[in-house]
Amino acid sequence: MSSTALRNLGIIAHIDAGKTTLTERILRRTGEIRYCGEVHEGTTVTDWLPQEREHGISILSASVVCQWRDVRINVVDTPGHVDFTAEVERVLRVLDGAVAVFCGIRGVQAQSETVWRQANRHRIPMLAFVNKLDREGASYERVIRQIAQRFHVAAVAMQVPLNAENGFNGMVDILTGRCVGCENLDTDFRNDERVKAARTHLVECLAETDDEVMTDYLSDKESDEATLRRALRKAVLNRSLLPVFGGSAAKDIGVDALLDAVRDYLPSPSESNRKKLNGIGMLVFKVYPPEVFGEMLYCVRLYGGHVETGTRLLNPRNGTICEVGTVYRMRASQLDPIEGADNGDIVALTGLGADVLTGDTLCDSSSMAVLERMTFPEPVVSITMEGRGSTDSETLGKALKAFCLEDPTLRTSYGPAPGQWTLAGMGELHLAIVQERLKGDFGIDVTAGKPQVSYRKTVQGSGHGRCEFEKRLPDGRTMGAMVEVEVEALSRGEGLQMDLDAAATAVEPFYGEAVKAGIQEIVRSGVGDGHPLTDMKIKVLALAPAGSGTSELAFQTAARKALSEAIEAGGPQVLEPIMKLEVTSPQAQIGNVIADLTSRRGRVTEVDSQDMGIARVVALVPLGELFGYASSLRSLSGGRGDFVAEPSVYAPL
């Protein structure tokens, strides 16, 4: 299939806005399934993990393929819970367009803003779908106003609700005047006042972006439907306009019209702003360990060329060559083998080997193309766990490393006590799901401690450290090494930088690698208190053998000691994660909510009133103050409060 007849589409939204239900209806409308499953019953196609079905939320991004008219659509249903934001990030990195789903009652919610920012960061053209318009209290117009105000975007209604006040039963398309998803299909609504007003607003917005529409507008001439559709497509592709559709996924209202919009307005791979390569080139955006599908599985997006069984690929990161085993089209948990894949395809491959990781570029040796790697946030919460039996203790470490391979926002390390492992992630639910999957996927029962804040350590200034390490051997010889290191503070959020290259030329390459390993050990485990390092530059100034001989272990030990000394000299400082917290509560209780946030060392940055007597508060609060906040908020708000917290910055403790 030509890439012009392909759409790579992500469904993004706040939790419980209806993404998975919408995806299920898309599969039925396109003929991929005969009957729709339900989230609350745990029977949907894309929520296939047992933990997803039990909790009623999406945890992993799930890709399904369907055919609508003359285009094939790769639909990816993404998680909505903030703990799994990184799962959305990696998927948006390889998609060409997105549908942002909003709840018709709750409107723009906290995670709505998070996924919107992610899509903007990747410059993805979008459509919006206002869901649940069949529910009491829903308002299509109110949600559109919120979208425009909160995202500073030209949001234009492409439909108007029919009988919204007296029992919602469909939408009216403002371009054709025809009803969408209702029985009044033959009724022409073009003279309806609301339809005429919405069409006029659309024309005015398009006139600002398209010369032909502007000419017609200034001449008091009504642009025909084909002209408006062409101008609208151009505006969507350059992200100057957001068309908004509406309906009810649960009632199957508005799904066909949304699919038509995906076909008509969102870009194909050849039209997207994604990098295009001449030879074979692809990005690995997800790796599944063998325990999930029976063998290592690599999800890739092709940016050029053709790949099939036996295709040899180069990994520029480490120079290794791998060979493709089987090419699969993914349908959530189902793998369908196909002959091959081409530019724009999103597929799964086997046979690439353990050296291939998330974020790697794979290409042919002639093109040597390297795509930008994906970046993921650092984990903010950790727990200590150990297996309940001797067998569990032996296999626990292997299982945790498999989960870290699948999810780059997880980190694991051995300790603090023998037989224990520490696992760090993005939130309490994130870590709880891993514990459940340890039992389900590996059959491992674990005992876990209470969640702990994952602190970081930096330096306040600069520091210098030098270590001449020597160890006397039984035969009288001494093995030693000298390492000299300098550290320098960086601004918050800059992470870690390491400069080793110049000094490493003075010794054999394997000694330089030993020094790097010693430094990375301190970076991961910290100095004394176990807090990983961040926001500093580490520069190795000099390397040299010492004593009558040397070894890799001597250089590694000297590097650890020199770096520890430099950090102490630079003025170590512990950092704690600060969360951006968005709380919604009844207006009458908002004073109590703010007072409680202040008592938790929170700094309120925004307070505003929303419709239906609801107020919204945004605050920056240390993560350590938020354990158990859900219960406190329920008490403060009479059970009607809601909140979302996402990592913001690290700040001095």
233-260: pLDDT as tens digits: 999 999 999 999 999 999 999 999 999 9
Please, are residues 379 and 424 in contact by the beta-carbon 8 Å criterion? yes
Tell how far CA 60 is from the center of its chain: 10
Beta bridge partners of 103: 107, 131
| Mean predicted confidence (pLDDT) in 153-180 | 87
Beta bridge partners of residue 347, listed in sequence order:
300
Half-sphere exposure of 180 (CA within 13 A, CB side): 26
E strands, 92-142, in order: 97-103, 126-131
> Which of 129-133, 146-150, 507-511 has the lowest average pLDDT?
507-511
The residue written with tokens 């309806």 in the block is 192
- What mean pLDDT, rounded, does the chain reach? 88
> With 90 as the cut, is the pLDDT of residue 79 above it?
no
Residue 390 has pLDDT above 60, yes or no: yes
CA distances from 196 to 173, 209, 224, 608 (A): 11, 20, 14, 33
What integer pLDDT is reported at residue 239 of this predicted model?
94
Q: With a cut of 90, say whether residue 155 has pLDDT above it.
A: yes
Amino acid at 348: A
CA–CA distance, 307 with 484 (Å, rounded to integer):
48
pLDDT at site 427: 87
Return the closest-CA partner of residue 304 out of 262, 361, 374. Answer: 361
> Model confidence at 46, in pLDDT bands (50, 70, 90)?
confident
Backbone angles phi, psi at 263, to 5 degrees: -65, -45
Is it the case that residue 6 has pLDDT exceeding 90? yes
The answer to whether the bond into 161 is cis (omega within 30° of 0) is: no
Structure tokens at 81: 């819970």
Q: Which of 188, 195, 180 lies closest to 255 in space, CA to CA? A: 180
Residue 509, pLDDT > 90, answer no
Q: Which residue has the higher pLDDT, 106 or 323?
A: 323
pLDDT above 70: percentage of residues in the chain: 98
Q: What is the mean pLDDT of residues 269-289?
A: 87
Read off the pLDDT of each residue in 357-363 and give the average, rounded to a whole number.
Answer: 92
Residues 620, 622, 623, 625: is their CA dihedral positive or negative?
Answer: negative
In percent, the amount of the chain with pLDDT more than 90 equals: 44
Most confident by average pLDDT, 108-122, 177-191, 457-471, 538-552: 457-471
Tokens of 200: 């006029």
**124-128, 373-377, 610-614: which has the highest mean pLDDT?**
124-128
Helix axes 225-237, 193-207, angle to 10 degrees: 50
Q: How confident is the model at residue 63 (pLDDT cuts 50, 70, 90)?
A: confident
CA-based nearest residue to 412, from 431, 389, 429, 427: 431
Q: Where are the alpha helices (DSSP H) in 570-639?
A: 590-599, 629-636
Question: Is residue 336's pLDDT more than 90?
Answer: yes
Q: pLDDT tens digits, residue range 171-200?
A: 999 999 998 877 666 778 888 899 999 999
DSSP letters spanning 388-408: SSHHHHHHHHHHHHHHHHH-T
Span 530-546, pLDDT tens digits: 788 999 999 999 888 88
The pTM is what?
0.84
pLDDT given for residue 470 in this prediction? 86
**Is 646:85 a contact under the CB 8 Å cutoff?**
yes
How much is the average pLDDT of 308-314? 94
428 phi/psi in degrees, rounded to 5: -65, -40
pLDDT score of 267: 95
Please, how many CA atoms are within 13 Å of residue 648, restricted to the half-sphere of its CB? Answer: 17
Residue 39 per-residue DSSP state: G
pLDDT at 28: 92
Cβ atoms of residues 503 and 542 within 8 Å: yes
Please state, in angstroms and rounded to a whole number, the distance separating the CA atoms of residues 155 and 231. Answer: 15
**pLDDT higher than 80, residue 164:** no
Q: Interior CA angle at 355 toward 82 and 122, to 5°?
A: 35
Q: Which of 160-164, 343-347, 448-452, 456-460 has the lowest mean pLDDT?
A: 160-164
